[in-house]
Amino acid sequence: MALSNYHSYKSADEHHSKLYWLVHDLSIFIGRSLKHIFKNTDQLLGLTIQPIMFMLLFRYVFGGAINTGPISYVNFLMAGILVQSVAFGALTTSLSVATDLQRGIIERFKSLPTISWGVLMGHVTADLVRNIIQAIIMISVGLLVGFHPTATLWQWVEITGIVLLFTFAISWVAAIMGLVAKTIEAVQWMGFFLVFPLTFASAAFAPTSSMASGLRIFAQNQPVTHVIEAIRALMIGTPVGNHAWLAVIWCLGIIIVSIPTAGYLFRRYSGR
């Protein structure tokens, strides 16, 4: 058997700097999570079809009953549906993290001489990539059903930036949820508690001004609304106001708090 050369495989550690290996290991974890996306085609399909169904549902069924003033409902809806799909999609990070914990693969990574928290970074980064794909599909379908954006190229860059920043922020929150929930089942109910109120009690499907006062105060001031309002305004050329800045500040705040929290929970996790 091939054991005569057993000790001929040597770590190439000394040949490169610490920074090189950090980037190297991160890229392996990211590559792993990206492969997961494309090998788990059922999930990818589900995550893409669901928001499209929502969009068609609201566009053709509920849309007529919601008053969005001079803006056509499909133009109003696009930003909301996009952000909602990002928020739901982030739950795959929670699921991936919980699955990795349950399957014991995190234990294995932790026994390696590497940055094992990179596994979280991998899932979060894969979320960014998947969201870009989903957003492109969704906007294309939107164009088919009457969505009429007026954004300039620069505004599209701004929109992309906000979407990615929001995805990154909410994916880290999702990673924390995965670490706290530890099981796939727990992720599912936790996810709905977080994502449903944040996306429905927002400006996603109806103007906040139409809501009852208690709900309205929440809806007008929560981060998801700022993100939606900013994206919508940029898409269809209405005044952006403070929404863009508030959205960016909220996202950065969430990122600054959630990364160390996730890191702490990850380090503290000690099996079963």
Ligand X SMILES: Nc1ncnc2c1ncn2[C@@H]1O[C@H](COP(=O)(O)OP(=O)(O)OP(=O)(O)O)[C@@H](O)[C@H]1O
28 binds, among other proteins, ligand X, none (CB under 5 to 8 A by kind): other proteins
Interatomic CA distance for residues 219 and 208, integer angstroms:
6
Residues sharing a CB contact under 8 Å with residue 29, sequence separation 6 or more, in sequence order: 118, 119, 121, 122
**Footprint of ligand X on 85-114 (CB under 6 A):** none
Kindly tell me which of 31 and 46 has the beta carbon lying closer to other proteins.
31
Q: In angstroms, give the least distance from the CB of 183 to ligand X.
A: 15
Binding residues vs other proteins (CB under 8 A): 1-3, 6-13, 21, 24-25, 28, 31-32, 35-36, 39-40, 103-105, 107-114, 270-271
Interatomic CA distance for residues 24 and 155, integer angstroms:
34
Any contact of residue 272 with ligand X (CB under 6 A)? yes
Q: In angstroms, give the least distance from the CB of 183 to other proteins.
A: 15
Residue 237 in tokens = 């050329």
Number of shown-chain residues binding ligand X (CB under 6 A) = 2
Q: In angstroms, give the least distance from the CB of 168 to other proteins.
A: 23
Answer yes or no: are the C-beta atoms of 123 and 97 closer than 8 Å. yes
Kindly tell me which of 2 and 144 has the beta carbon lying closer to other proteins.
2
154 binds, among other proteins, ligand X, none (CB under 5 to 8 A by kind): none
> What phi and psi, each to the nearest 5 degrees, are found at residue 14?
-70, -20
Interatomic CA distance for residues 258 and 11, integer angstroms:
33
> What is the number of other CB atoms lying within 10 angstroms of the CB of residue 196?
13
57 binds, among ligand X, other proteins, none (CB under 5 to 8 A by kind): none
Kindly tell me which of 8 and 270 has the beta carbon lying closer to ligand X.
270
Q: In angstroms, give the least distance from the CB of 271 to ligand X.
A: 6
Residue 261 region by backbone torsions, left for phi larger than 0, else alpha for psi between -120 and 50, else beta: alpha
Residues sharing a CB contact under 8 Å with residue 227, sequence separation 6 or more, in sequence order: 83, 162, 166, 243, 247, 250, 251
Kindly tell me which of 8 and 111 has the beta carbon lying closer to ligand X.
111
Kindly tell me which of 10 and 144 has the beta carbon lying closer to other proteins.
10
By rule CB under 6 A, what string of x and - marks binding of each residue 232-271 to ligand X? ---------------------------------------x
Kindly tell me which of 7 and 272 has the beta carbon lying closer to ligand X.
272
Interatomic CA distance for residues 106 and 116, integer angstroms:
8
Count of residues making up the chain: 272
Interatomic CA distance for residues 148 and 48, integer angstroms:
21
Contact residues for ligand X, defined by CB under 6 A = 271-272
